[in-house]
């Protein structure tokens, strides 16, 4: 689905009362408004009018493909550029064919994999899937080349590779990349991307299992952002002595378009689980943590000390690729003048219940960069009218008040 706002309209089925960059508000009648908020932008300003973002690729006069909301443009040969700048990115690929359009994606196939490219709501996304180990010559053609200067409105992500087990390699040199590939489980996905500000992130630690639980629970190693999916909980190989990983997630939603004076009467978080490796079931806790100004370790530690909200749900009986809503959240936490922040973590992590090396106790959740809009996190807020409405353009030009 390339149009998140249109998706919400079809799911909710109520008249739209307001549109904003990160949310869409619906009129329930009797003075009640229900608003769905996305971490990613869902509307863009066009001549003073808020319009839904649609990421379906359209042919431009200059031979590139792009979307009305974005300055990013792509060619069938895999060239990526940003209108008004000299920035150019391109991955040569081994034996690459001319790209083919698939709605909102451009697909370039080669002999042992393919590249999928698309313009996102606030940047560009690429995934290169490898089905076998490349030769040295082939590997050189898998790393994107760049020229020019990327606009300051975009954040460039590190080039990473992820194997079928979820193991991650951050690219530094071709030699290190090929060494990692030698032990990776295929398929492997590489993602050279850039995007806008990230509304979610993962922070995790990893240590040898022996004597490591206390250390990993209180010490972080890495922050990742811009992922399509992310792990939550404890992950290790079934062999004693293998490294252990502990993942906590962080989300933000711009809820500033709720009217001043309106009373928030209900709030719920919705997520989609894309993989369940919880051989021992656990609950997913939601914490109230404003992580916006916190450094990595303070953010990681804050998940253990912040006030908890309602649970999202248990992993028991969970179905994959299905949206589940949390129980009702604390309405006082919803920020009507700014951004509302949350953290997610496993119950045994928060409660300090040490897992064993044989236990796989993690799930994978869809994040804001997920290509399937139906899978992305949603914050739904119900409010009762009151006070002075905030004036946002809704398919009409803003007039002087």
- Position 166 scores a pLDDT of 74
Q: How confident is the model at residue 399 (pLDDT cuts 50, 70, 90)?
A: very low
In this prediction, what percent of the chain has a pLDDT beyond 70?
Answer: 92
Q: What is the pTM of this model?
A: 0.89
CA distance 71 to 64: 11
Counting every residue, how long is the chain?
Answer: 401
CA distance 11 to 323: 12
Average pLDDT over residues 71-90: 95
CA distance 250 to 226: 12
More confident residue, 360 or 347: 347
CA distance 312 to 211: 30
Residue 115 in contact with residue 128, Cβ under 8 Å?
A: yes
**Which pLDDT tens digit goes with each residue over 114-160?**
999 999 999 998 899 999 999 999 999 998 899 999 988 887 777 88
Q: How confident is the model at residue 387 (pLDDT cuts 50, 70, 90)?
A: low
How many C-beta neighbours within 10 Å does residue 169 have?
18
Q: In Å, what is the CA distance from 10 to each residue of 6, 14, 278, 330?
A: 6, 9, 33, 27
Helix (H), strand (E) at residue 384: strand 378-384
User: Which of 127-141, 196-210, 327-341, 380-394 shows the lowest mean pLDDT across its residues?
Assistant: 380-394
| Closest CA relative to residue 308, chosen from 343, 281, 348 | 343
E-strand stretches of 182-242: 188-191, 194-195, 200-208, 222-225, 229-236
Average pLDDT over residues 206-231: 83
- On the CB side of 131, CA atoms within 13 Å amount to 8
Q: Could you tell me the sign of the dihedral formed by the alpha carbons of 180, 199, 343, 322, in that order?
A: negative
CB-based burial, 207-242: b 16+ in 10 Å, e otherwise: bebeebbeebbeebeebbbbbbbbbbbbbbeeeeee
């Amino acid at each position: 689905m390339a149009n998140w706002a249109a998706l919400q309209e079809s799911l909710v089925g109520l008249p739209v009362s307001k549109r904003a960059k990160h949310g869409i508000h619906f009129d329930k009648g009797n003075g009640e408004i229900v608003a769905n908020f996305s971490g990613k932008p869902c509307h863009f300003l066009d001549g003073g009018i808020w319009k839904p973002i649609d990421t379906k690729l359209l042919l431009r006069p200059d031979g590139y493909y792009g979307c009305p909301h974005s300055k990013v443009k792509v060619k069938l040969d895999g060239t990526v550029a940003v209108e008004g700048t000299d920035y150019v990115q391109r991955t040569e690929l081994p034996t690459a064919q001319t790209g083919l359009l698939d709605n909102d994606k451009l697909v370039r196939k080669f002999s042992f994999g393919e590249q999928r490219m698309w313009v996102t709501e606030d940047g560009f996304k690429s995934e290169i899937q490898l089905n076998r180990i490349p030769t040295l010559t082939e590997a050189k053609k898998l790393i994107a080349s760049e020229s020019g200067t990327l606009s300051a409105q975009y954040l460039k992500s590190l080039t990473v590779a992820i194997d079928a087990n979820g193991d991650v390699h951050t690219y530094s040199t071709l030699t290190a990349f090929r060494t990692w590939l030698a032990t990776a489980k295929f398929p492997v996905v590489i993602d050279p991307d850039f995007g806008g500000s990230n509304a979610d992130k993962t922070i995790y630690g990893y240590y040898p299992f022996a004597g490591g639980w206390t250390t990993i629970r209180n010490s972080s190693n890495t922050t990742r952002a811009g992922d399509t999916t992310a792990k939550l909980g404890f992950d290790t190989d079934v062999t004693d002595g293998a490294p252990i990983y502990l993942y906590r997630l962080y989300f933000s939603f711009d809820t500033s378009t709720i009217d001043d004076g309106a009373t928030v009467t209900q709030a719920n978080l919705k997520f989609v689980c894309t993989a369940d490796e919880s051989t021992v079931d656990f609950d997913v806790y939601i914490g109230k943590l404003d992580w916006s100004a916190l450094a990595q370790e303070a953010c990681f530690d804050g998940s253990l000390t912040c006030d908890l909200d309602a649970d999202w749900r248990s992993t028991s009986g969970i179905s994959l690729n299905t949206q589940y809503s949390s129980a009702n959240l604390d309405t006082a936490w919803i920020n009507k003048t700014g951004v509302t922040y949350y953290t997610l973590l496993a119950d045994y992590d928060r409660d300090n219940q040490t897992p064993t090396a044989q236990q796989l106790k993690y799930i994978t959740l869809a994040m804001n960069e997920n290509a399937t809009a139906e899978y992305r996190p949603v914050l739904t807020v119900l409010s009762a009218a009151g006070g002075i409405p905030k004036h946002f353009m809704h398919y009409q030009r803003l007039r002087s008040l």
